[in-house]
Amino acid sequence: MSVVPAALPTLLVLDADPLPRLGKLTGRARVLHTDEASLAERLPAADVLLVWDFTSHAVRAAWPGEGPRPRWVHTASAGVDHVMCPELVASDTVVTNARGIFDEPIAEYVAALVLAMAKDLPRTWELQQRGRWLHRESRRVAGGRAVVVGSGPIGRAIARTLKALGMTAAVVGRVPRTGIHGPQDLDRLLARADWVIAAAPLTEQTRGMFDTRRFGVMQPSARFVNVGRGQLVVEDALVRALERRWIAGAALDVVAEEPLAPDSPLWHVPGLLISPHMSGDTVGSSDELGSQFVELFERWAAGRPLKNVVDKQRGYVPGH
């Protein structure tokens, strides 16, 4: 008697360059690729959706449509706000993220930004282009105080790296616990901080948390870095804080609307460094993301519990 093979699960990939390497899934999944325009049409046929394009908001737009929906959605990013919509949150679909891939790269990037601002490297480069020799004093990093807002793996990695530079680093999370401050301590810590690092997920509680009042709490010598989500910051308030010298400087690796428009006033704010959402992306990180997804797919196909499961109500992976 012949055995009818079980149908292969359909994996739908929302593409971005470079494409993920999924060769290990050959013969184990029917892999389809889609762009934003075709996502809504192809979504009902998918058992699994891999959101490889972490910049896209197409899932939020396509998910409420007609027909069945994937049983599992994985996003190749730490944040999940770009895929969440009420219909997905209310569904039985499991959502996972790329937790663990970006911790150390982002921590290194934050350290680079801190050192660049403390040592006035942007101005050094500018003066070099003008052929001008201008001796200045720079700021010490060791002995400074940092506050890291966000107690997940990325925030904790940032704190460890800053401590290695000789700084004290307080971490603020959603709830207080051993080694982690709660939200009630944030303003007190901000008032004493030399460096404020935003690395929190975007939730209804964190949206716009860095506003006029929070920038007003900071010292005039403080500097602010955001590697979390652009919407954590009220950008007009940050601009005012820099222009009025309420704070000494800032660096944004994320902004509210990405990519940042060429005519955005943010490009020209004094004391503001802007980078294009690249703090977690390193040479080889695409392969790491692909390998992580293949490992998760193998667990899913075998009926084993998935790792990195997001609490859809909270908007992040709990337990950190």
Catalogue the active-site residues.
229, 258, 277
Q: Which residues lie below 8 Å from residue 130, measured CB to CB, with a gap of 6+?
A: none
Contact 277, 258 (CB under 8 A): yes
- Taking Cα atoms as reference points, which of 43, 36, 50 lies closest to residue 66? 43
- Rounded CA-CA distance 50/72 in Å is 9
Is 238 buried (19+), middle (13-18) or exposed (0-12) by CB count in 10 A?
A: buried
Contact 26, 8 (CB under 8 A): no
- Taking Cα atoms as reference points, which of 161, 166, 159 lies closest to residue 144? 166
- Rounded CA-CA distance 124/115 in Å is 13
**Quick count: other Cβ atoms within 10 Å of Cβ 84?**
22
Please count the residues of the chain.
320
Order of all β-strands in the sheet with 94-96:
30-34, 10-14, 48-51, 72-75, 94-96
Cα atoms in the 13 Å half-sphere on the side-chain side of 31 = 16
Helix (H) or strand (E) holding 179: none
Instruction: Tell me the chain's radius of gyration from C-alpha atoms.
Output: 22
Contact 136, 120 (CB under 8 A): yes
Q: What is the DSSP string of 216-233?
A: HHS-TT-EEEE-S-GGGB
